[in-house]
């Protein structure tokens, strides 16, 4: 990782006609990644009196804004409208522009989900994390996030669509991309806290992108409490149901285990009706943990009411896993069980997951270009539909989550 390339302060001024092939050869994508956002040029003279009443910050903002053109509207919801967009100097380079609505009902300024999403995506640039290309405001004070265009929908669509056939090599390739993304964010001390198969999007080149950082946070100081009321239920680890308020990357790793298992069984892996019932669903598969399997469990906040009086139960044997997940083989089952370890201390970390022998076992991971996918036009049409759909799920989830359901993260 070297220094950012030396760039002129204003590499892409509004209205400039960058040479066509130059723009092709060197994508101007990483506006946040490198110093290509036109800083107000340090050399130019100050605005003359009588000129536009824009400060330097505004000038800088306009420089970013003018690089993009809004296109057709892809979907609209309560908190955001998503547009297809493209670069001004290269209409073939698509982006998605998520325009955050300014909600007059919102009394506390810019909402927390948007702030978190901007905060973390600006820091986390990785091939398998959705790329936040730029952010700008329009004069109506709407914040616009320019995100990479991911036209192939969500990972969840793949296993749900029974017309799509896929095999062990495909699951391996997808799983590996997910593990890389999670490893990267954890190396950067960020917890995602909402990993699930519809927060993982598919790019035009079939690579997966972890999206939706509206619940993310930095690793806490050891003494600070965190909320245990995070992560969508099907993907939430047992320690959070037991009220643990000190945790690290292990909570995300349980979710990763659930996503891989989902791909392997082509169905929800741990479906449940309510939060209260979910721990029962988990123990059905993994047994009832004791102080022996999981030292310290009896000190967790809700252990007494949730588990203390539960009759002992043995975990499902290996044969159960073999019959349910033939798609990923012995090595794959070993990885999934390592990720879905009840005791968070013994659970595989992202780094350990990447060192697992599953990746080197046969079959080799599918080549990216050969991964199965949904059709382009169909996926794009579905995207609009998805964005309008804010019904039953909205009632169930917190209001704040709507904003994220409607974001580009929900596109397909």
Partner 1 sequence: MRLNEDDLYRQSTQYKHWSFTPSDLTRLREKTNAHAAAQVQLHIAQDRAERAKLAPLDVASAPDSGANTPNGNGAGTGANTPVPGGAGDKGGEVDCLTMDEEKMVVDKFCETAMKLGDFLKLQPDVTATAIQFMRRFYLYNSPMTYDGTKISKTAFFLALKLELGTRAGSASDFASRLPKTTRDDIVAPEYTIVQALRFNFEVRHPFRGLKGVHLELEDMIHANYAGVARDGRSSADLRAEALAALQVTGGDEAEGKLGNIYAHAKDILAMAAQLTDAYFLYTPAQILLAAHLLAAPALTTFYLGTKIPSSSPAAPKILSTLQSCADLLSSHRSYTKNPAANKHGWADTDPPETKRAMKKLRACKDPTTQDLVALNAGKKRDVVRDGELEEGKAKRRKLNREMAEKESDSFWGPELKKEG
- Catalytically active residues are 194
Of residues 197-256, those binding partner 1 (CB under 8 A): 217, 221, 227
Task: Compare residues 212 and 262 and give the one whose CB is closer to partner 1.
Answer: 212
d(CA 279, CA 28): 47
Among 139, 162, 292, 314, which residue interacts with partner 1 (rule: CB under 8 A)? 139
Residue span binding partner 1 (CB under 8 A) among the ranges 110-118, 263-271, 308-316, 339-347: 110-118
Is residue 253 within 8 Å of 264, Cβ to Cβ?
A: no
What's the closest the beta carbon of residue 72 comes to partner 1, in angstroms? 9
Q: Is 34 in the site for partner 1 (CB under 8 A)?
A: yes
Q: What is the distance between the alpha carbons of residues 277 and 99, in angstroms, rounded to a whole number?
A: 38
The reply, when asked if residue 299 is annotated as ligand binding, is: no
- Contact with partner 1 (CB under 8 A) among 78, 137, 298, 316: 137
Nearest to 148 by CA among 63, 60, 64, 30: 30
From 115, 204, 318, 345, residue interacting with partner 1 (rule: CB under 8 A): 115
Considering only 138-146, 148-156, 231-239, 269-277, which stretch makes contact with partner 1 by CB under 8 A?
Answer: 138-146
The span from the CA of 266 to the CA of 159, in Å, is 5
Q: For partner 1, which residue of 100, 118, 261, 348 counts as binding (CB under 8 A)? A: 118
Q: Give the interface size with partner 1 as a residue count (CB under 8 A).
A: 59
Give all strands of the β-sheet with 90-100 in edge-to-edge order. 68-76, 80-87, 90-100, 143-148, 132-137
Asked if residues 260 and 336 have their Cβ atoms less than 8 Å apart, the reply is: yes
DSSP string, 29-54: --TTTSTTS-PPPSSSPPPPTTS---
Neighbours of 47 (CB within 10 A): 14
- Residues belonging to the binding site for ATP are 99
Q: Which residues bind partner 1 (CB under 8 A)?
A: 1, 3-4, 32-35, 37, 39-40, 42-50, 53, 55-58, 60-61, 69-71, 86, 91-92, 107-110, 112, 115-116, 118-120, 122-125, 135, 137, 139-141, 143, 187-188, 217, 221, 227, 376-377
């Amino acid at each position: 990782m070297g220094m950012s390339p030396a760039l002129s302060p204003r590499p892409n001024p509004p209205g400039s006609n960058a040479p066509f092939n130059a723009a092709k050869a060197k994508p101007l994508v990483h506006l946040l990644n490198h110093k290509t956002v036109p800083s107000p040029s340090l050399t130019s003279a100050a605005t003359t009196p009588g000129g536009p009443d824009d400060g330097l910050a505004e000038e800088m903002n306009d420089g970013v804004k003018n690089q993009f053109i809004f296109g057709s509207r892809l979907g609209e919801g309560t908190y955001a409208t998503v547009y297809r967009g493209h670069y001004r100097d290269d209409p073939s380079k698509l982006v998605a522009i998520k325009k955050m609505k300014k909600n007059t009902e919102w009394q506390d300024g810019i909402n927390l989900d948007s702030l978190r999403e901007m905060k973390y995506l600006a820091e986390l640039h990785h091939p398998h994390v959705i790329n936040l290309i730029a952010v700008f405001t329009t004069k109506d004070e709407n914040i616009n996030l320019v995100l990479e265009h991911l036209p192939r929908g969500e990972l969840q669509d793949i296993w749900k669509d029974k017309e799509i056939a896929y095999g062990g090599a495909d699951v391996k390739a997808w799983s590996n991309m997910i593990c890389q993304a999670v490893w990267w964010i954890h190396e950067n001390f960020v917890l995602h806290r909402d990993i699930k198969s519809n927060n993982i999007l598919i790019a035009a080149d079939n690579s997966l992108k972890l999206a939706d950082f509206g619940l993310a946070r930095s690793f806490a100081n050891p003494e600070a409490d965190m909320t245990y009321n995070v992560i969508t239920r099907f993907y939430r680890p047992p320690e959070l149901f037991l009220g643990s308020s000190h945790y690290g990357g292990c909570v995300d790793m349980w979710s990763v285990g659930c996503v891989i298992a989902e791909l392997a069984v082509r169905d929800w892996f741990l479906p449940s009706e309510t939060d209260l019932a979910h721990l029962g669903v988990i123990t059905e598969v993994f047994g009832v943990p004791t102080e022996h399997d999981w030292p310290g469990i009896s000190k967790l906040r809700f252990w007494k009411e949730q588990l203390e009086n539960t009759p002992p139960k043995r975990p499902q044997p290996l044969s159960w896993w073999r019959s349910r997940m033939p798609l990923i083989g012995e090595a794959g089952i070993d990885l999934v069980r390592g990720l879905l370890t009840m005791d968070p201390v013994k659970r595989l970390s992202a780094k350990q997951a990447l060192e697992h022998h599953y990746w080197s076992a046969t079959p080799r991971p599918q080549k990216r270009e050969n991964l199965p996918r949904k059709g382009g036009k169909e996926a794009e049409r579905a995207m609009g539909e998805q964005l309008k759909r804010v019904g039953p799920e909205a009632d169930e989830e917190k209001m704040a989550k709507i904003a994220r359901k409607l974001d580009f993260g929900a596109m397909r």
